[in-house]
Chain A
Amino acid sequence: MTYKHVLIILMIALFSGCTTNTKDDSGSATVEDKGSASGSDTSGSGSDAGSTRTYGVGAEGDTSMTALDDPQSPLSVRIIYFDYDSSEIQSQFRDTIEAHSAFLIANPNVIVALEGHADERGSREYNLALGERRSQTVKRQMTLLGVPSSQIRATSYGEERPVSEEHDDFAWSQNRRVEIVY
């Protein structure tokens, strides 16, 4: 609950103080319950669908307002790829993580979501754990670089949200990733 409050306060701050660069990532999932016998749409006690979670982009000053949107900025790289069954960060992604860490330190109101993913091979539940380990690894790297862990939310979708739906090495290399979501 406190987390939501923080977000709401953050949103208010954003909308009142800044006119650019707000990205509304409204995550309202539609969920429908169905009873098997009657077919009646009894919604159970847990059906609190439609939760909206919004991530602000940060009310930084005018000068750096386009940092996140600048295609030349290292911040434009938002995906970190991994080897098979590995959560080790490859050297070519160090700059990316450093740039995002510097951005987060400079913008303490910004919260970033790190979404870990895996390729489709093997077990779904193990892959869910593997995706989390990948996002945790990136999170740990960022906190070592000085980002407060409260600014980072590390999650996992396992193999449930592939970028590529193909079933070959290239598709799998695209799907083993952590997405940096502002």
Chain B
Amino acid sequence: MNVVKKFVFICLMTIVTGALAEEELEIVIDKGVENSLPIVILPFGWSQAQNLPPIDMTAIIANDLARSGRFAPMSEADMPQKPTQMHDINFKDWRLLGMENLVLGNIKQNSSGDFDIEFRLIDVYKGTQITGFHIPATHAQLRRTAHQISDIIFEKLTGIRGAFNTRIAYITVKRLEEKKRLYSLQIADADGYSPQVLLESSEPLMSPSWSPDGKSLAYVSFEKRSSAIYVQDILSGQRRRVASSPGINSAPAWSPDGSRLALTLSKSGDPEIYILHLSSNSLQQVTHNRAIDTEPSWSPDGNKLVFTSDRGGGPQVYELSLRGKQVKRLTFNGPYHARPRYSPDGKKIVMIHGEKKRYRIAILDLENSYLNVLTDSRLDESPSFSPNGSMIIYATTVYRGTELAAVAADGSVHQRLALQDGEVREPAWGPFPGK
């Protein structure tokens, strides 16, 4: 809360360049921090004078770094020179401007039509190269290559693994004619670009959850007029219904080893949490309480589940030790806490914190039990950590509908990911690639 007040309202900085295709998510950063690191991402050189470069590498990288809140990329208009080779850099000019780091690069097209991307990260004060890479890429891989470069820069300068080359899953809803809706499950790059539809339905879709290897999604579909849980392979579109018992079938959450799903079933008469072993289809009930028990999330070590229960009256967050079966209440500071998710290091839990008719995103520090409210809006939900734990994506409802937003895990930077058309909700940030 008080963190929010620390913001400098930098200006309404729209850093998406170029026209966006319909339905893509637009990223708007409307608040920033004072302590972000200045950095120069020079326009990349391009081998063909007669054609435009196939991609605006500079804009994608600058956008990524700015979104993290840790960097303040210089705008191109303010650059005193735009060298593409290290020996052309006038270090004195950049030092005078207080720029500590500089990125330059070149894009070349080879005879087979593919591309060769070269970039260097340079320490302006020492006048030396920190790191540099050649990355070959096909046309389709160019955006991903830009995100990989952002990841390298981020890790070199912050010591934290970058999570720009990752994906998000989310649900969109379009209103069609009178009372009809088109629900769709989509995935996109973490910056909202390259959305792909995985499933469309005339009935509600809910609760997408990534498998730890990033190859499958579990989700809830009402296509049969009641909830059921499906697991879908992202590449092939093949899917399997894994839960469709009487009552609700919902809240799937993948175990860290990928072998099990924690989920909520109400077949016993009230919502209880179960663990479904995916290879054997065997079910193990882990909560036994007449209250609502739902929204499980696994601790990164797989030993605990955190979940929402109203066994104490209103909804609060509880932790279940899977070995000893002890249940411990974690939240006390307010009448409403729900939808918990562990941070990737297991030390924090992000959740919905509801009080005084406002539902905001908060992080509970498990070491000192301090609850830090990160957002300042009215109707926030579905928080999801980036795999490096540095950011949280969530859904926020404003007068024009529900859209995605992100906040740095320390509450320092907010950004909005606005959809052009319809509603976007329930974002789930996918794992690191190739894990």
Residue positions of A touching B, CB distance < 8 A: 27, 29-38, 40-47, 49, 51, 53, 85, 120-126, 128-130, 132-133, 136, 155-158, 160-161, 167
Contacts and interface: CB of A to CB of B under 8 A. Distances in A.
B241 interface: yes
Contacts of A30: 200-202
A7 to B, nearest CB: 12
B232 interface: yes
Nearest to A126: B338
A125 B428 CA distance: 14
Contacts of B225: 27, 29, 51, 53, 155
Contacts of A125: 206-207, 250-251, 264, 294-295, 308, 338-339
B227 A33 contact: no
Nearest to B205: A160
Contact of A36 (B226, B237, B314): B237
A37 B198 CA distance: 10
Contact of A31 (B201, B238, B359): B201
Given A125-B251, A126-B295, A132-B271, A167 B379 contact: yes
A34 B250 CA distance: 22
B230 interface: yes
B294 A44 contact: no
Contacts of B204: 157, 160-161
B292 A126 contact: yes
Nearest to A37: B235
Interface in B283-333: 292, 294-295, 308, 310, 314-315
Contacts of A43: 237
Interface stretch (B89-97, B125-133, B216-224): B216-224
A155 B226 contact: yes
Interface of B: 187, 196-204, 206-207, 221-227, 230, 232-241, 247-248, 250-251, 264, 266, 269-271, 292, 294-295, 308, 310, 314-315, 336, 338-339, 352, 354, 357, 359, 378-379, 381-382, 397, 399, 425-426
A33 B199 contact: yes
Contact of B235 (A36, A46, A133, A155): A36
Given A33-B198, A35-B238, A121-B357, 9 more contacts: A29-B203, A29-B222, A29-B225, A32-B200, A32-B201, A34-B198, A37-B236, A42-B237, A160-B206
A159 to B, nearest CB: 9
B202 to A, nearest CB: 5
Contacts of B338: 122-123, 125-126
A82 to B, nearest CB: 15
A41 B237 contact: yes
8 closest A-B pairs by CB: A35-B237, A44-B239, A160-B204, A123-B338, A46-B241, A123-B339, A29-B223, A129-B292
A128 B227 contact: yes
A73 B203 CA distance: 32
A39 to B, nearest CB: 9
B149 to A, nearest CB: 24
Contacts of B381: 122-124
B295 A123 contact: yes
Nearest to B221: A31
Contacts of B237: 33-36, 40-44
Best-surrounded residue of B204, B235, B426 (most CB of chain A within 10 A): B204
A121 B200 contact: no
Nearest to B426: A124
Given A29-B225, A132-B271, A167 B200 contact: no
Nearest to B234: A36
Contacts of B399: 167
B339 A132 contact: no
Given A120-B397, A123-B308, A123-B338, A157 B222 contact: yes
A132 B240 contact: no
A36 B426 CA distance: 19
A44 B201 contact: no
A46 to B, nearest CB: 4
Contact of A129 (B223, B234, B264, B382): B264
B360 to A, nearest CB: 11
A85 B354 CA distance: 12
